[in-house]
Amino acid sequence: MTRQERADIIFAELQQRFPKPAVPLDHKDPYTLLIAVLLSAQCTDVRVNLTTPHLFKLADNPRDMTKLSIEQIREIIKPCGLSPAKSKNIWNLSQILIDHYDGEVPADLDALESLPGVGHKTASVVMVQAFDTPAFPVDTHIHRLAQVWGLTNGKNVSQTEADLKKIYPSETWNDLHLQIIYYGREVCTARQCNRMYCDMCKRMYPDRKTPFKAKKP
């Protein structure tokens, strides 16, 4: 089976299983999404969604956020982990948005990546989910499954992103990255599947005899 044949099987299955994938992080605008995605680093979406209402009740925009102290922010976001760094980044990026973008989140990937604590994946998520701009954010689930499905060699997340963008047309990226994440969480999990157990893997690799081990990002 060729890589494109596997890609087509994957796409058809994901479209059927998750036809309209919901954005997993609760937010109301680009700013609250940006903060939620920043908090989700090494933290579950469930935990972020339990934490952000307390933060956004006090500050759901850059100007109100900078009225809080870094210590206040840190106390609220402690459940999300890495609170010392995250609280500083939230306060500092909020000040930058005020100083340089009139308090608005820029709809520009490079500008987003220049903000404190905002890497390529975070910026890509904001571009996709806040501005509906084609992007393919690669998280650990996507990096793992792209290898399990033989769509990339798993060299690094940048290579995985580039490989997936070559395989799938840009109009599919925004839904597809969420569909793969949900499939990795609910069906083809890291503990339960390695090209040998879930129905889709067995269909693509029917003669597989030994487990496949994906490279970590």
Indicate whether 48 and 104 sit together in one domain.
Answer: yes
Residue 82 lies in a domain: yes
User: Using N-to-C axis directions, what is the helix angle for 70-77 and 83-101, rounded to 10°?
Assistant: 130
Indicate whether 149 and 91 sit together in one domain.
Answer: no
- Among 131, 156, 176, the domain boundary falls at 131
Is there a catalytic annotation at residue 121? yes
DSSP run (H or E) holding 179: helix 170-186
Indicate whether 36 and 125 sit together in one domain.
Answer: yes
> Could you tell me the pTM of the whole model?
0.90
Of the given ranges (104-108, 141-145, 162-166, 193-197), which has the lowest mean pLDDT? 193-197
Of the given ranges (24-28, 168-172, 213-217), which has the lowest mean pLDDT? 213-217
Indicate whether 185 and 112 sit together in one domain.
Answer: no
**CATH number of the domain enclosing 12:** 1.10.1670.10
Confidence of residue 209 (pLDDT cuts 50, 70, 90): confident
| Mean pLDDT score, 56-77 | 98
Contact (Cβ atoms closer than 8 angstroms) between residue 157 and residue 117: no
Contact (Cβ atoms closer than 8 angstroms) between residue 50 and residue 79: yes
Q: What is the pLDDT of residue 62?
A: 98
Is there a catalytic annotation at residue 166? no
Angstrom distance (rounded) from CA 154 to CA 160: 6
% the chain with pLDDT above 90: 80
Q: What is the pLDDT of residue 190?
A: 79
Indicate whether 140 and 79 sit together in one domain.
Answer: no
pLDDT surpasses 90 at 208 = no
- Among 100, 131, 162, the domain boundary falls at 131
Indicate whether 50 and 114 sit together in one domain.
Answer: yes
Contact (Cβ atoms closer than 8 angstroms) between residue 109 and residue 127: yes
Q: What is the pLDDT of residue 37?
A: 97
Confidence of residue 213 (pLDDT cuts 50, 70, 90): confident
**CATH number of the domain enclosing 127:** 1.10.340.30
Show the domain range for 82: 30-131
Indicate whether 151 and 200 sit together in one domain.
Answer: yes
pLDDT tens track for 148-186: 999 998 789 999 999 999 999 999 999 999 999 999 988
pLDDT surpasses 80 at 118 = yes
Kindly name the residue from 8, 26, 108, 139 that is annotated as catalytic: 139
